[in-house]
Structure 1
Amino acid sequence: MTSRRDFLKSSVLASSLLFVPKFLHALDRQGLRDLRDARGRRLVVVQLGGGNDGLNTIIPYENDLYYKARPTLGIRQQSGILTLDQGLGLNPSMTRLKSLYDQGQMAVLNSVGYPNPDRSHFRSMDIWQSGSASDQYLSTGWLGRYLDSNCAACQLPYNGLEVDDTLSLAMKGQQRKGLALKNPEKFHQITQNRFIAQVSGEKPQGNLSELDYLYKTLAETSSSADYLYQNAKVYKSAVAYPNTEFGRNLKTTAELINSGVASRVYYVSLSGFDTHVRQREQQGKLLGDLSDGLASFVEDLQKAGNLDDTLVLVFSEFGRRVGQNASNGTDHGTANNVLLLGGGLKQKGILNAAPDLANLQDGDLRHQLDFRSLYATILHDWLEADDSAILGSRFERLSGLV
């Protein structure tokens, strides 16, 4: 029997493994169930950290006010803008996303934001991840509350995986939380530590409620890691992804989905978009990585027959100011564009008006669409959940989007 002292010495390792959805342990006993229960739909969220400049992502190249505000930073058509519709075009680095757009697998929503916007990275990201108002502070995320929800129409347990080292607020609920991991094999190796393996098979003696919780967590973590490791081996991608951390994380996500892992929500991040200085080169490289990674991901899912059941949401915590700064960059702004990708989109292309550069608020874009209306649409129409209960209020949904 392991001593209490030895057990407590491992509490640091145990605490790093607490975010484990209970469904994974249960699946060891129940066996893999068909993802097509409840129509088998899944959501993949891609977070662009740092505040991506939406105006140089979806470029209003026919608007003279854009070039007036950005005399050197504005991207001109002769630079290779990938023209879309309504006088808008993609950044020249996003050639593979342009192909998805042309194939009807991509939609663009302009000027998405919220009232009384906050320009702090941390606060604005919390607002987007929690689904709160700007003056509201929540300790749970909108996807975590989705995991908490008990939708009668949903046949599978709610569950989520974040392909990262840490779990975002977005994935933390009151009762359930997602699981953060970079690699199923390495995650499995951690749980094969001799001490962890021994403890996970034991039961604590006596009335030790806190230790009981840790023992239980270790047991569930070990079982979860084994489930993911065994099932992730079912499919190994042959699609070429960018040799970047983001590309590798998307490849891992595709392999989990195509292996039939029973997760309904996935979360992936790409950081580096805080472009105050010399923005053109830095953002262009990041947008190229985003474009190539997402195109490979879509190709992977399409080849495996899983694209129609997958919706990809790409967002950033805020956009940038309309005018360039003195360092050939941009400072923190407000509203921004959001991208949607998937085989099940009912509406494609540019879905609303281009940003209104003639009607700014203190030099910033006014939001046309509250991001919580988009969340409500995804929750209700795509995931078949109670959007009002999850978001704590009723927001107007976008008709016929998904």
Structure 2
Amino acid sequence: MTLKTRRQFLSLCLRGCLGAASLSALQMRFMQSVLAAEQQPFADYKALVCVFLVGGNDSLNMLIPMGGDSLQFYQQARQDLAVADALPLRPLREVEDGIGLHPSMSALLPLFEQRKLAVVSAVGSLVQPTTKAEYLSGSIIKPQHLFSHNDQQDTWMRGREPQIISRGWGAQMLELLYQQPDFASCISLAGSNLWQSGELISPFGLTHGGVPELQATRRSDVRSNVLRQATQALLTGQTHPLGSHYAQLNNNAIERSAIMRQALKLAPDFSDVFPSGNTLAAQLRKVAQIISARDSLNVGRQVFFVRMGGFDTHGDQQRLHPILLGRVAEAMAAFQQAMDDSGNSNNVTSFTMSDFGRTLSTNGDGTDHGWAGHQLVMGGAVKGGDIFGAVPQQKLGGERDVGAGRIIPEFANEQYFATLAQWFGLSAAQCLQLFPNLKNFNQANLQFV
């Protein structure tokens, strides 16, 4: 049997032509491994973990000026929202007047000092480099729907402006690297999302509790066995194209769930590493387990998606935002500890995304929709202990404030994405294919990883 013929045979088996009931989880996992090994373009392993902070994180308030005019401008702009007792940072490239980290994010300070954490400053949606004068005069192409939650979330997940497409750059990276991406290469702990939606692949969904099961068929009693057999008979006997397609999708889901469930049985628990009562930490704990079990899944590249909401802080920000930042810091620090303990630190890069930054000005109880914001990048391969890009002066009416304290980004989010994508294994040409506005900027790779 030739390699091509064997591959075709195994593919048919995995698609349900032999019937899911006739295959054990071990057999399915073996066939999945053979198929993955035959198309594996990389000898190494890398994973990207996207931490999406839903609602527009006030990330400008994560980095606090420590003195001089910078501190005075910041306090004047932020008023009651100004943060005191910032934790001093000593980035490799000195920041004028000094810079500190929000005190609620103390869990991340050791990682910055160990050079496993970097900050990319003033990132946002841009079509081309933009000055305040150009923005106000309308002489440049502006990103569409700049201050809209849904539109900007889609922009960050699509990876481009101003084209409207229904595919995300996380999934498209895999599709550029693999002829047929394996389901285990694209995993979400936060449900369906645009970032992991492609032409050939969509996210395989888990919860922090593991692989979901059909409650009616998971038990071993007589009633469940009868229901399971009846469902299988109905699905395998379909002749209508729609019914047949549904049967195939259902069988694929059953098979993939069995493979993932078996892989997770081999994974470390990590319960002593992650804090309890933190939903982001619970998601990242499951990511850590899957990464640790990657050998049984035989994948060379993986993208993970986790999500945390609550960042649309128009009100009660003084109380809520420190809590949110503290949970993010604890969860990410625990995840990096799990990567260190499992020997995966250099192979896994985690990064944040959010709808947009927020306004420098306060509305009296919070902040409103802004533009530029800071993003965190973490991992052993990261050029940590530094801030990439100039920290914008938080001065109302300043040279990058286009009104209401909305700051023009220094870096386009496409530059941010392309840097991560090149580390993941894409070529410069492939990055330009994914992020077409890169051609408008002098620097396509920001060199933070």
CA distance in 2, matches of 1:277, 1:399: 35
- Residue in structure 2 matched with residue 339 of structure 1 by the alignment: 376
- Residue in structure 2 matched with residue 110 of structure 1 by the alignment: 121
CA distance in 1, matches of 2:436, 2:216: 38
Alignment partner of 2:382: what SS?
Answer: coil
Matched, 1:44 2:49: yes
- Residue in structure 2 matched with residue 298 of structure 1 by the alignment: 336
- Residue in structure 2 matched with residue 75 of structure 1 by the alignment: 83
Which of 357, 362, 367 is residue 330 of structure 1 equivalent to?
Answer: 367
C-alpha distance 198-171 of structure 1, shift in aligned 2 (>3 A):
farther
Alignment partner of 1:237: what SS?
Answer: coil
Are 1:200 and 1:222, in contact at CA under 8 Å, matched by a contact in 2?
no
- Residue in structure 2 matched with residue 218 of structure 1 by the alignment: 250
Deviation at 1:122, TM superposition (A): 0.9
1:300-324 superposed Cα distances (whole Å, 9 cap, x missing partner):
1110101110000112110110111
Matched, 1:179 2:204: yes
Which of 317, 331, 344 is residue 279 of structure 1 equivalent to?
Answer: 317
- Residue in structure 2 matched with residue 259 of structure 1 by the alignment: 293
Matched, 1:56 2:61: yes
CA distance in 1, matches of 2:233, 2:388: 54
Which of 379, 386, 395 is residue 349 of structure 1 equivalent to?
Answer: 386
* Count of residues in Structure 1 that have an aligned counterpart in Structure 2: 373
- Residue in structure 2 matched with residue 239 of structure 1 by the alignment: 272
Deviation at 1:374, TM superposition (A): 1.4
Matches within 5 A, 1:136-147: 136-147=163-174
1:71-95 superposed Cα distances (whole Å, 9 cap, x missing partner):
221113xx24343442221110111
CA distance in 1, matches of 2:238, 2:328: 53
Alignment partner of 1:75: what SS?
Answer: coil
Are 1:38 and 1:155, in contact at CA under 8 Å, matched by a contact in 2?
no
Which of 394, 400, 411 is residue 369 of structure 1 equivalent to?
Answer: 411
Alignment RMSD (CA, Å): 2.8
CA distance in 2, matches of 1:140, 1:210: 24
Alignment partner of 1:313: what SS?
Answer: strand
Are 1:334 and 1:366, in contact at CA under 8 Å, matched by a contact in 2?
yes
Relative to structure 2, which stretch is displaced further, 204-213 or 301-310? 204-213
Whichever residue aligns with residue 282 of structure 1, its letter is: L
- Residue in structure 2 matched with residue 159 of structure 1 by the alignment: 185
CA distance in 2, matches of 1:259, 1:158: 11
CA distance in 2, matches of 1:25, 1:348: 46
Relative to structure 2, which stretch is displaced further, 215-224 or 67-76? 67-76
- Residue in structure 1 matched with residue 19 of structure 2 by the alignment: none
Alignment partner of 1:294: what SS?
Answer: helix
Unaligned runs of 5+ in 2: 1-25, 127-141, 219-223
Are 1:239 and 1:296, in contact at CA under 8 Å, matched by a contact in 2?
no
Matched, 1:123 2:142: no
Deviation at 1:391, TM superposition (A): 2.9
TM-score (norm 1): 0.85
Are 1:109 and 1:351, in contact at CA under 8 Å, matched by a contact in 2?
yes
C-alpha distance 206-269 of structure 1, shift in aligned 2 (>3 A):
closer
CA distance in 1, matches of 2:170, 2:46: 14
Are 1:147 and 1:158, in contact at CA under 8 Å, matched by a contact in 2?
no
Of structures 1 and 2, the larger Rg is shown by 2
Deviation at 1:246, TM superposition (A): 1.3
Are 2:188 and 2:306, in contact at CA under 8 Å, matched by a contact in 1?
yes
1:196-240 superposed Cα distances (whole Å, 9 cap, x missing partner):
675457764464111111111111101110111111111221433
CA distance in 2, matches of 1:130, 1:197: 41
Alignment partner of 1:132: what SS?
Answer: coil
Alignment partner of 2:81: what SS?
Answer: coil
Matches within 5 A, 1:79-98: 79-85=85-91, 86=95, 87-98=98-109
Alignment partner of 1:129: what SS?
Answer: helix
TM-score (norm 2): 0.76
